[in-house]
Amino acid sequence: MYRGWIVTTALLIAIYCLMIYIRRVVVCNKTEYGSKIPVLSLLLLVKNQQDIIEGLIRELYAIPGCWSTEVIVVDCGSVDETRPILERLAGSFQNFKVVGVSEEPGMLKKVYRLCRGDIIYCFDLTGAINYNLMARTIHSILNGSRASLYRTRVLYKNETPGRCNHSYNMLK
């Protein structure tokens, strides 16, 4: 009598496991994770930051979940080794681009159009930076907190501006 219940229970568990396996293999593999558009874009405007930029990028990519975030670094005319450092790092990380910017009007609007994320965080790193505060800000953004946005401008895909700590003239 108990043997029939044990066989029936084992059969139901096997059917359930098979259904879970089929769902994971068939349904979940239909999504192409490599071509998935990131929800979040980080746009870093840098100028003459050779001392901190490599550490900041490496620390950013060490954060769990950052691999799905798009990172675009815009070199705003650095005269030090910032650009070669960025180009060396560009081949090492997924969803990482380096762009040079000219002084022509509206250049940053063109750069914003390169961003594929629904939300774009623009960091102005063209002046003196507090490295620890910048790293904590990026950590908090990638962990879902929006508390302390140091030197950050937020744009949404419909070009609605959010909180900003730098000049709006950069977008003209």
pLDDT tier at 63 (50, 70, 90 boundaries)?
confident
How high does pLDDT run on average in the chain? 75
Handedness of CA 162, 165, 169, 172 (dihedral sign): negative
CA distances from 103 to 21, 75, 108, 171 (A): 55, 12, 10, 12
Beta-ladder partners of 155: 120, 161
The tokens for 28 are: 């979940």
Using the predicted structure, report yes or no on whether residue 58 has a pLDDT greater than 80: yes
Distance separating the N- and C-terminal Cα atoms of the chain: 81
H/E element holding 11? helix 2-22
Using the predicted structure, report yes or no on whether residue 19 has a pLDDT greater than 80: yes
Residues 6+ apart with CB under 8 A from 111: 43, 72, 74, 99, 101
